[in-house]
Structure 1
Amino acid sequence: MRTRHWARAGIKYVELTSALLDGFLKTDSLAAARRVVSDLGLKAVSCGAERGLWEPGPDRAAALDRLKTRCEQFSPFGIDRIVIPSFSTQKWTLDDYKRGIDAMREVGETAKAYRMIGMVEFIRGTTFIATLPTTLKLTREANHPNVRPMIDVYLFWSGMSQLGDLDQIRPQEIAHVHWADVPDVPRELLDGLTREIPGEGVAPLARILRKLAERGYSGPASVEVFSPKHQQADPYELARGIRQKAEPIMRQAGVL
Structure 2
Amino acid sequence: MKLSFNQATTLENSDLANDLELCEQHGYDYIEIRTMDKLPEYLEQQSLEQLSSYFQEHHIKPLALNALVYFNNRSEEDYQQLLKEFKQMLEYAKELQVPYIVVVPLVTKEKILKEDIKSSSVAVLQELAELAEPYGVKLAVEFVGHPECTINTFEQAYDIVEHVNDPNVGLVLDCFHFHAMNSSMDTLKQADISKIFILHMDDTEDFPIGSLVDEDRVWPGHGAIDLDGILSVLTEKGYDGAATVELFRPEYYEMPAEEVIKKAKETTMQVISKYAKI
TM exceeds 0.5?
yes
Inter-CA distance 41–95: structure 2 relative to 1 (3 Å threshold): closer
Equivalent residues in 2 for 1:31-42, closer than 5 Å: 31-42=49-60
Note the alpha carbon deviations across 1:14-60, whole angstroms, 9 max, x for none. Answer: 21221221110111111112223333321212221011223343311
Inter-CA distance 250–41: structure 2 relative to 1 (3 Å threshold): same
Matched, 1:13 2:27: no
State the Cα distance separating 1:154 from its structure 2 match: 0.8
> More strand by proportion, 1 or 2?
2
* Correspondent of 2:118 among 90, 97, 106: 97
- Does the 8 Å contact 1:107/1:147 carry over to 2? no
User: Distance between the aligned counterparts of 2:194 and 2:238, measured in 1?
Assistant: 5
- Does the 8 Å contact 1:53/1:64 carry over to 2? no
Equivalent residues in 2 for 1:1-256, closer than 5 Å: 1=17, 2-18=19-35, 19-58=37-76, 59-89=78-108, 90-93=110-113, 94-125=115-146, 126-187=148-209, 189-256=211-278
TM-score of the pair, normalised by structure 2: 0.85
State the Cα distance separating 1:96 from its structure 2 match: 4.4
Inter-CA distance 75–140: structure 2 relative to 1 (3 Å threshold): same
- Does the 8 Å contact 1:148/1:175 carry over to 2? yes
Q: Report the secondary structure of 1:49's partner residue.
A: strand
TM-score of the pair, normalised by structure 1: 0.92
Match of 2:6 in 1: none
Q: Structure 1 counterpart of 2:94, which letter?
A: S
Inter-CA distance 150–87: structure 2 relative to 1 (3 Å threshold): same
| Number of residue pairs the alignment of both structures matches | 256
- Does the 8 Å contact 2:203/2:223 carry over to 1? yes
- Does the 8 Å contact 2:175/2:201 carry over to 1? yes
Note the alpha carbon deviations across 1:84-105, whole angstroms, 9 max, x for none. Answer: 1113212212244223211110
User: Distance between the aligned counterparts of 2:64 and 2:145, measured in 1?
Assistant: 21
Structure 2, unmatched stretches of 5+, are 1-16
Inter-CA distance 160–188: structure 2 relative to 1 (3 Å threshold): closer
User: Distance between the aligned counterparts of 1:160 and 1:179, measured in 2?
Assistant: 16
State the Cα distance separating 1:122 from its structure 2 match: 0.4
Higher RCO (CA 8 Å, separation ≥ 6 residues): 2
- Does the 8 Å contact 1:51/1:86 carry over to 2? yes
Inter-CA distance 198–103: structure 2 relative to 1 (3 Å threshold): same
Q: Report the secondary structure of 2:217's partner residue.
A: coil
RMSD, matched Cα: 1.8
Structure 1, unmatched stretches of 5+, are none
Inter-CA distance 130–190: structure 2 relative to 1 (3 Å threshold): same
User: Distance between the aligned counterparts of 1:188 and 1:135, measured in 2?
Assistant: 17
